[in-house]
Amino acid sequence: MRQVIGIETHVQLSTLTKAFCGCPYNYGSQPNTSICPICMGLPGALPVLNSKVIESAVKLGLALNCKLSLNTKFDRKQYFYPDLPKGYQISQFDIPIATGGYLDVDLPIEFGGGHRRFGITRVHMEEDAGKLLHSEDGDYSQENTIPHILHYLDDHVGYALQVDLNRAGVPLLEIVSEPDMRTGVEAAEYAAELQRLVRYLGVSNGNMQEGSLRCDVNVSIRPVGQLEFGTKVEIKNLNSFSSINRAIDFEIARQALLYSQGQGDQIVQETRLWEEGAQKTITMRKKEGLSDYRYFPEPDLPEVILSAEYINSISSSLPELPEMKRRRYEKMGLSMQDVLFLANDMNVAQFFDATIAKGADVKLAANWIMGDIAAYMKNEKLSVNEIKLTSEELAEAHCFNKECDY
């Protein structure tokens, strides 16, 4: 059987304020404390685009080797849900800001290593929705003057729902990959590389636990030689790279088993949920008709026009990205094991670069960082920025190195 995997990733941007209003967003704030008429969708309120959203999208688009749309626009995606205060999401439909790129990944040695290039279909800008809160006593919003209580009983949970709009209007970039991945490991590494990229670029903290980086995975399998894709199944609730890996491998095995038992027709287009406890996927909802989002151009926001100067200035300010770093380290003569260890964490890479910039020997510095320093960091649960040793001190301590000037 041949597996086909594609990933849709939502990256929450770490702009100071939301996409279309002046509210700050801090994960974990008290419900409905970071809201205003605009992100609440009150009558008469209008969105005004935060230019940092464009800047972040251009950065990521360039870093993903995409073609940028010089004239782009926002569209309204319309559906009803209590966490969507306007009844539509401001998103991009037919002219996304970036299209047709790719992402280079080096697979970990323990999974066989090797270099992969995964296609990027598109990157577009949109706003996040709020969150539903389930409360048994209906007492969440006592601090708020704005009632967000939904006076209905959810038939699944049996208690009142409330809406927290803190997250509503927070800027997102949605990155859609080509269906280029074949295994859980490849998909997990794609997601990990995307996380590194947004962290290197400084556009997002990429934190999966807080939902700053969310991956939805599409999996289908087909017999070798068959041209058309098999039935696509979407998996949600993937909160870590290892759950991406395991959920995909589980799903592939599940579908392959159905095929081998002659029950291929039981694979239906649906959304499945990864259950971390049970280590399996379960049906969340079957394909509900054809959803028609009635997209049309957002009339409250003017077109976004990117000038060549603007793109050039962003392009020239981009930092060294993980892939370039890895190739540079490789050229320095480091093993792939060393390269991946050093380049995977932006802070470690910076520490390493600073150390060798002081004249330290490349291999010795790498060994120190990967050996004693890494062990110390692990024991003390510290990051490289938190340890007392500076890159200067490490370089000096390397006076035993062959080119030491001291």
Binding footprint of other proteins on the chain (CB under 8 A)? 37, 40-49, 71, 73, 76, 78, 80, 82, 85-88, 95, 146-148, 150-155, 163, 290, 292, 294-297, 299-303
**Which CB sits closer to other proteins, 151 or 402?**
151
Cβ distance to other proteins smaller for residue 3 or 162: 162
At closest approach, how far in Å is the CB of 48 from other proteins?
5
Q: Would you say 194 and 14 are in contact if contact means Cβ atoms under 8 Å apart?
A: no
| Shortest Å, Cβ 72 to other proteins | 10
Least CB distance to other proteins at residue 231 (A): 22
Q: How far is the CB of 283 from other proteins (least distance, A)?
A: 20
- When the beta carbons of 210 and 300 are compared against other proteins, the nearer one is 300
Query: Of 305 and 357, which CB lies nearer to other proteins in the complex structure?
Result: 305
User: Which residue, 126 or 193, is less far from other proteins as judged by CB?
Assistant: 126
- Find the shortest distance in angstroms from Cβ 166 to other proteins: 14
Choice between 93 and 310, CB closer to other proteins:
93
At residue 73, what are phi and psi to the nearest 5 degrees? Answer: -155, 170
Q: What is the nearest approach in angstroms of other proteins to the Cβ of residue 153?
A: 6
49 vs 360, which CB is nearer to other proteins? 49
Cα dihedral across residues 63, 66, 67, 68: positive or negative = negative
